[in-house]
Amino acid sequence: MQKNERSLLFEVARLHYEEDLTQARVAKLLGLTRVKVNRLLQEARQEGIVQFLVVPRMEDAYLRRLEADLATRYDLLDVTLIPGREEILDNTLPRNGQQALVEQMAQRAAFYLDRILDNQSVMCINWGRVMRSVVDHLRPTRMLRTLNVLPFLGMLSSRADAFEANLLAREVAQAYGGDYDWLISPAIVRDLQQREAVQQLPLVKEVLAALQQATVAITAIAPADSKASTIVRRGLLAEEEVTEVIKMGAIGEICSWWFNENGDEVQETSYYPIGLGLSGLRRMVAEGKRVIGVVGADQHRFDAIYAALQGRLINVLVTDHITAQHLLSRR
């Protein structure tokens, strides 16, 4: 499918499902026939652009109570929950059902960002599919001309990549009419000398210093899994390297930085990410700045979420109520 065709699918779906316009109105706005709009909506569902999620009825008061309990238990600034699915607990939730839950979490995270960002904010964003979805759901309610948005780490590739942190930072800034900086460095280098040399480059050094002033960070959290690892699939690390870091005690990962069950960093000495890092997140939390974790709908992530909370790597959580119940049940 060509890029222009996919853009048209997205726009038709957005107008119909998000703006609540009739198919006739969408057809008139875009200069299409009703038949064409109907066909495009069917294609959007087939392509996964539009997904439907059936969730059990969940009383709003119950979710708010869970949010309050979770915030108290883990000393969090904010918790935002969506209704989850019991199938998360036994891994029987269909793939498209899980994706739909993640999309809903991303939408709630986008609403939360819009509520807390202001003209004094310096925001840092991770890379990946979840962050891409958060940015896609942004609906700014005001312009923030002095907002500054930064990537969490350096560049993943020399080619344009819709999931790349630098590009996502630019899109957030443009949505609010603010500023952004790119971290013009590799995401990962292979030895300490390379890291020191790259970090001393003037363009890199300036952005790394700006990252230390971040007031808001947003990230996904991944489990330590050499087979399913996104950074392995992207060719940034070899499967054997992830296996080795797991042997060293890693159970979770944020933006290519690994941590153990206590939330402490596990450093594999054959590669070094360049960016904010876990120490930056922990410092932000200690200073009362917001570090938002958007993660859930997956039993395999339970341990990593728990460790990130224990290690004070995040202090705002956007997740589903099944994940919240599990976290509250842990000692």
Higher-confidence residue of 4 and 331: namely 331
Q: Taking 60 as the threshold, does the pLDDT of residue 26 lie above it?
A: yes
Higher-confidence residue of 55 and 324: namely 324
Q: Look up the pTM and report it.
A: 0.84
Supply the pLDDT for residue 58.
59
Total number of residues shown for the chain: 331
At position 323, the amino acid (one-letter code) is T
Could you report the per-residue pLDDT of 248-280, keeping only the tens digit for each? 999 999 998 999 999 999 987 788 999 999 999
Percent residues over pLDDT 70 in the chain = 96
Mean pLDDT of the chain: 92
Supply the pLDDT for residue 3.
52
Write down the domain spans for the chain: 3-47, 60-329
Minimum mean pLDDT range among 44-53, 82-91, 128-137, 272-281 = 44-53
Q: Which architecture does CATH list for 3-47?
A: Orthogonal Bundle (1.10)
Q: Taking 70 as the threshold, does the pLDDT of residue 75 lie above it?
A: yes
Query: 10 Å Cβ neighbour count for 185?
Result: 22
Q: Strand runs (DSSP E) across the chain, as ranges?
A: 78-82, 122-125, 148-151, 179-180, 188-189, 216-219, 222-223, 252-254, 257-259, 265-266, 272-273, 290-294, 316-320
Task: Give the pLDDT band (50/70/90) at residue 233.
Answer: confident
The C-alpha atoms of residue 267 and residue 319 are separated, in whole angstroms, by: 28
Strand partners, 153: 275
Could you report the per-residue pLDDT of 182-228, keeping only the tens digit for each? 999 999 999 899 999 999 999 999 999 999 999 999 999 999 998 88
DSSP secondary structure code for residue 151 in this structure: E
Strand partners, 58: none
Supply the pLDDT for residue 89.
95
3 state SS of 252? strand
Q: Taking 70 as the threshold, does the pLDDT of residue 107 lie above it?
A: yes
At position 274, the amino acid (one-letter code) is I
CATH number of 60-329: 3.40.50.1360
Q: Helices marked H in 180-299 — which ranges?
A: 192-199, 202-211, 230-233, 239-247, 277-286
113-120 average pLDDT score: 97
Task: Give the pLDDT band (50/70/90) at residue 14.
Answer: confident
